[in-house]
Amino acid sequence: MQIRIAFGSIIMMFVLALPSNADGKGELQKYFNDTANKVKSTENASEKRKILSESFQSMSKALDKVQNSGLISKVDRIGIDRFKATLQEKRDELAGSNGYERVLDKDLNAFSDYVVQDMEQAAEMITISVVALLLILILVVLIV
Amino acid sequence: MSIGYTALTVFLSSCSAGLPVQEESKKTEHVLATKYSIVYVIHGDGDYIFHDTSGNEYNADDEALAGAKRVAQQNPYAEVFIFHQKPRRNFLFFFPLQDGEFYYYRNGQLIANELYWRDQKQSQLDPEVVLYHRFRTENQREMVSIFLYYGHEIPQFGGIGYDASYPDRAFTVHDFTIGLRGFTHHPKRFDLLVLSTCFGGTPYTIDAIGSFTRTIIASPDNLHLSYFDLHLLERLDLSLQDGDVPAFAKRFAHQAFKRLTRNIQTAVSIAVYDADRVKEFLYSVRRVYNYTLTTLKGETQEFLATIEHCDCADLPEYVLPTMNKGVDVFYRPARFGRSKNKQNHSGWECLNVKPQEATFSDH
């Protein structure tokens, strides 16, 4: 219990220290935009796949940690579930698993744009509170 | 001391409602006739950041505002009202600043630019309607009238939290139609209404706004925040020379579609609705769609968070012979994802409430 309180306090310190205009969703979009920029900056298809895969993996880990932290509401947990499902679809498509056709090497730049745009649209649909979003962002930074 | 007093006086004055920032007389003589009336409402109080394919970041509302101003400046025969709905901002942490900005152009000239207070609880565009009536020209019934709304999906019910910085403020399709009533000149309807939002093409939304306009352009599916291209509105005296608004609406939709499909990898869907011709379909599905909405109104926030949209054509109860009547659809599926092979869209978007989910709220 004390560990949980300590962890919560540290997280809250991070949250309070963040600039007031950091609304979470915008920062989350920046994360995927940075990934797309990295993908486009390399010519090597394997490298592009690795960048995308690691980006999805880091985000998934952060989502799992926040979901299991006990610091978020039930609505947030459902929002994170939907977010995770969206992310998993992208991972499956990149790898060509779970019934998806594998993204072709020549389409990886376009796929990285698709991820950015889909996440920008998903941000409107997926209900996650600002606090939960900030927790996700903090953990993504710690994980990467 | 006197400088401080003056600064305080100026600041306090700036907090008062309805303070004109710039205004010229309404009775200014105009050489050119006004044949077009355009009203823009641009919602900017939410998460409106998007990125282009080069990674540059934009604020959707600022981009829409810049486009609206270009339209206003380049139309010599139009009057243009622009309402920019902004997030809450404070001066020195404690003093709230006005959350709306209004621009009025006539014959390409900026006539007025005012800050104003938006509705504080239920947002039904009351302050916008008041400003509109203060400046509008008298011959509204003879003008071609166009209304454009740029923002996130307008909720079909609930609507709490539509403004990110005012969590208690609500805005729904019903509130929107109350606002629209204030802008129209009965019995005349708008000639064209452009709903540049996600999921604007639901039977309920089109049914509700169809009473206030003859033609509607909306996106049934998701719409990227770069919104609909506005270039075709820039010289209405040329692009709408023949006065055929429905044909213009199709050209507008086609151009917006072309621009979106050039840069966007997600699905692009733009539909043009003839408000009178779609009535038969809407009448047929009204009961079943309203039943869905009524059911959802009683559900918990947890349950509502699980609801997804789908093409109404995927639900058997909506597949009727009248479904395509009065609707022109421009559609391209997402280039990736589960629906990348979906080749058509009916132009109608529904809520996909799966029967097994109905018990969710009981837990």
List the domain boundaries for chain A: 2-143
* Most A CBs within 10 Å, among B51, B56, B262, B339, to test the A interface: B51
Beta bridge partners of B20: B114
Domain boundaries, position B93: 31-362
Q: Is the ipTM of this complex over 0.85?
A: no
Banded model confidence at residue A32, pLDDT cuts 50, 70, 90: very high
Q: Is residue B23 part of a domain?
A: no
Beta bridge partners of A38: none
According to the model, what pLDDT value does residue A4 have? 59
User: Sheet holding B327-332: strands in order across?
Assistant: B20-23, B109-116, B100-106, B78-85, B36-43, B144-150, B190-196, B213-218, B268-274, B327-332
> Of B83, B178, B92, B79, whose CA–CA distance to B138 is shortest?
B79
pLDDT tens track for B274-320: 999 999 999 999 999 999 999 998 887 777 877 889 999 999 999 99
According to the model, what pLDDT value does residue B167 have? 84
A93 in B contact zone (CB under 8 Å): yes
Across A20-47, b (16+ Cβ under 10 Å) vs e yields eeebbbbbbbbbbbebbebbbeeeeeee
The mean pLDDT value for B187-198 works out to 94
As for how many domains chain B has, the answer is: 1
Q: Is residue B14 part of a domain?
A: no
Q: CB–CB of B199/B219 below 8 Å?
A: yes
Instruction: Check: pTM over 0.95? Answer yes or no.
Output: no
Q: Is residue B249 part of a domain?
A: yes
Contacts of A74 in chain B (CB under 8 A): 302
Residue in the structure block whose two tokens are 């609930």: B158
Q: Is residue B336 part of a domain?
A: yes
Cβ contact (<8 Å) for B265 and A113?
yes
Pick the CATH number of A2-143 from 1.25.40, 3.30.428, 1.20.120, 1.10.357: 1.20.120
Contacts of B60 in chain A (CB under 8 A): none
Q: Is residue B22 part of a domain?
A: no
Q: Is residue B101 part of a domain?
A: yes
* Most B CBs within 10 Å, among A35, A82, A125, to test the B interface: A125
Q: Is residue B283 part of a domain?
A: yes
The mean pLDDT value for B153-168 works out to 89
Look at residue A55 and tell me whether its pLDDT is greater than 50: yes
According to the model, what pLDDT value does residue A121 have? 83
pLDDT tens track for B82-120: 999 999 888 877 888 899 999 999 999 999 999 999 988
Look at residue B357 and tell me whether its pLDDT is greater than 60: no
pLDDT tens track for A84-123: 888 999 999 999 999 999 999 999 999 999 999 998 887 6
According to the model, what pLDDT value does residue A82 have? 85
According to the model, what pLDDT value does residue A17 have? 41
The mean pLDDT value for B143-171 works out to 92
Length of chain A: 144
According to the model, what pLDDT value does residue A21 have? 41
According to the model, what pLDDT value does residue B16 have? 37
According to the model, what pLDDT value does residue A80 have? 85
